């Protein structure tokens, strides 16, 4: 099948599906959406069971490292802000 024939067939399929009665299309579409949603949740659940979750100790350690880093960065940025504010005040006065 050539590329042109494939495009023609695809457009014919599109026309046929768009000509379907709206009531049947919406019912099948609704059931297809619920089926897809159910499948999504089932697959998500299966994937979540495969996850290697961190232990409480790993979580605590990582959280403390993040908290320490944030504290150090806040102090550094506060110091830089204080110094630049002083420098600008000296320049403007």
The answer for residues whose C-beta is within 8 angstroms of residue 49's C-beta and 6 or more apart is none
Low-confidence ranges of the chain (pLDDT < 70): 1-28
pLDDT score of 58: 97
Q: Encode burial over 80-90: b for 16+ CB neighbours within 10 A, e otherwise.
A: eeeeeeeeeee
Both tokens assigned to 20: 């379907």
pTM of the model: 0.49
Residue ranges per structural domain of the chain: 1-51, 53-93
The answer for residues whose C-beta is within 8 angstroms of residue 17's C-beta and 6 or more apart is 25
Rounded to whole angstroms, how far apart are CA atoms 89 and 43?
60
pLDDT score of 27: 63
pLDDT score of 43: 96
pLDDT score of 38: 95
pLDDT score of 59: 97
44 neighbors 51 (Cβ within 8 angstroms): no
pLDDT score of 1: 47
């Amino acid at each position: 099948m050539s590329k042109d024939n494939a495009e023609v067939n695809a457009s014919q399929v599109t026309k046929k599906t768009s000509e379907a009665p709206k009531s049947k299309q919406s019912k099948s579409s609704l059931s297809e959406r619920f089926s897809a949603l159910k499948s999504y949740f089932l697959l998500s659940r299966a994937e979540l069971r495969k996850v290697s979750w961190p232990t409480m100790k790993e979580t605590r350690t990582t959280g403390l490292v993040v908290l320490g880093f944030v504290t150090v960065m806040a102090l550094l940025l506060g110091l830089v802000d204080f110094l630049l504010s002083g420098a600008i005040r000296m320049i403007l006065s």
